[in-house]
Each structure stands twice: as C-alpha cells, then as structure tokens.
Amino acid sequence: QQGLAAGNADSILLNFRLIEVFITLGRVEPAEKALHVLSAAVDKRVATLPRPTRLSLERSISMLRGRCFAVRGESQKAIIELKRVLASRPSSDSEVRQTLQAEMLLGNIYASLSEWDLAAAAFERVTTLDPKLAQPRLAAATAWANFNQPEMAIRDRKSTRLNSSHIPLSRMPSSA
C-alpha cells in the first residue's frame, strides 16, 4: 500500500501483490477496489502491450476475480472467471501453476455445491498436469465416492500411492 501511495498507484505488479494479500486475508472489499485499479491500469496500457503479455494479464485478472468471488461465496461467478482462466493453454511455468490453482479452486467449488462429477473432473485435470501431486488425486477419489462411482474412487486412491511424491500440503496450489 505504501508503494501505491508513493505515486505508483497504477503499478500493475504492486496492485497484483496487494490484491493477493487482501484475498489471502479474506479482505474481499479492498481486494476488489484494488482489482478495479489494476484493471484500469491494464486498460490504459492495453494498446502498447504485446499480445502474449495482454492475454497473460487478462488471465491473471480473471484468476483474482475468481478467487474474490469464491471467498465471497459467489460460486457461479467464481466458476465463470475460473473457466476464463482455463480457456487458454498455459504458456509459461507461472501459467501452469495458475492453471493448477484454478482447477483446484474449481474442484473445491464444485464439491461445495455437491457437483461431484464436475469436482472429480477438475481434480483429475490437476493430476494430468502434475501426476505427482497427491492432494488432487485424493480429492478426486473423494468426489468419485460421493458421486457413487466406487471403482473410479478406488482407482484414484490406488494411483495416489503409486504416483505421489511427498510434497507438503503447504506447497500445494492455493485454493482461494
């Protein structure tokens, strides 16, 4: 906030970081205000930005909006924004991480809505991107079990033991 107040109010990077902090703290209103400033800053520069940079920024803004909606409990709006994130193929390591986060959050939202088949599918897409992660595979198994698909649940549970690395949950992609 100090950097923004010191004359860098349109700083894309500072606004991104500030929004992430606000969302992490559950402070959605200031996150949304900063998101509005960020969107305006990107809009000012859109004509001068290379297409890949512009698309990456739009993708990141959709991710932040999706996270805000998720924290607010506005599941349908969050789903729309997260699907925007997932509409394009990731072209960098940071976009792959963002895709993992979006799919995990999408899976958690679908699970909260008891849309077990959609939740399982989202979690399985995470395991396709990174087969060594155990958390999404276990989440998919749980979703399949809740969707009354025990053979799918057993398959995912067994493959967790075969494929997972011992990554602490703290290093897993954030879900909100």
pLDDT at 132: 87
Averaged pLDDT for residues 47-52? 89
| Cα–Cα distance measured from residue 2 to residue 86, given in angstroms and rounded to the nearest whole number | 33
* The token pair that represents 90 in the structure block: 């990731």
The rounded percent of the chain whose pLDDT value lies above 70 is 85
pLDDT at 114: 96
Residue type at 155 in one-letter notation: R
Average pLDDT, the chain: 85
**Tens digits of per-residue pLDDT, 80-101?**
999 999 998 888 899 999 999 9
Residues 6+ apart with CB under 8 A from 30: 22
pLDDT at 162: 54
CB 37 within 8 A of CB 10: yes
CB-based burial of residue 20 (10 Å sphere; 0-12 exposed, 13-18 middle, 19+ buried)? middle
Q: Please check the confidence at residue 6 and state whether its pLDDT lies above 60.
A: no
Q: Where are the alpha helices (DSSP H) in the chain?
A: 2-5, 12-24, 28-45, 51-72, 75-86, 93-112, 116-129, 134-146, 150-163
Averaged pLDDT for residues 116-131? 94
Q: Please check the confidence at residue 155 and state whether its pLDDT lies above 90.
A: no
Residues 6+ apart with CB under 8 A from 23: 31, 64, 67, 68, 71, 176
pLDDT at 83: 98
Give 24's pLDDT tier (boundaries 50, 70, 90). very high
- 78 or 151, which is more confident: 78
